[in-house]
Amino acid sequence: MNTKQVEAQIAKMIKFIENEANEVVNEITMSAREHANQEKLRQIEAERKKLAAMYKKKAVTALRDIRIKHSRTMNESRMLELEKRQAVLEDAIFKAHAQLVKVAETGEYTAILKKLLVQGMTAYGPGAYLVRARPGDADKATAAIAGACAEAGEDYTATLSEQPLPPAPPAKAESIDDIDGYCAGGVILTNDTGSVHIDCTFDARLNQIVEDQLDQLRVQLFE
């Protein structure tokens, strides 16, 4: 129900209440004319005012109830639309995550890991790093570490950490909730003291893109 329809319903209800009040008042007035008693007329006038006040209050209450109901309906519709849009956005993120999982299964994955390692190490600076990778990526991560250290220079060293990242999400995953706690790919750089934490996972990169471009994503999805 739109605003114009609500206002029309309100006007119709007020008209009905006014007619109901007028009918009662007319009945009282006719009775007064029949008796032609001054005291009776005063009593009738008092009753007339009482009835007018009562029906006015009744109209105000009805008007308030209709507006509250309309507002509640509009809010519920708005919430349903927001929930629907959130579901569409989450589905788009889930599909993007699934594509990243497939990238980690290609022959280019070792080269991608190397590039991520070089970016992470050189962004932080020279030092000795521990590299966390998924359990199934140990061999590829070891090869990528050797290549990354050679490219970054002699001031950079890295070894594979004994603390792995979470595994890849299950193939049966169907929604964003199903991939929580899993890793699509990539690495995390740390050090012995724990003072370094450079997240170069696919998941972190995807989350950053979503955060940075959320407005653009909404435009593409909903407009």
Using pLDDT thresholds of 50, 70 and 90, give the confidence band for residue 141: very high
Q: pLDDT, tens digit, for every residue of 29-70?
A: 666 666 555 666 677 777 777 777 777 777 777 778 778 887
Q: What is the pTM of this model?
A: 0.65
Q: Which CATH architecture has domain 106-222?
A: 2-Layer Sandwich (3.30)
DSSP 201: E
pLDDT for residue 201 is more than 90: yes
**Other beta carbons within 10 Å of 116:** 23
Give domain limits for the chain: 3-100, 106-222
Q: Which is higher by pLDDT, 82 or 123? A: 123
Q: How far apart are CA 202 and CA 116, in angstroms?
A: 10
Whether residue 208 contacts residue 127, with contact meaning beta carbons closer than 8 Å, is answered with no
Judged by average pLDDT, the poorest of 120-124, 168-172, 213-217 is 213-217
| pLDDT of 75 | 81
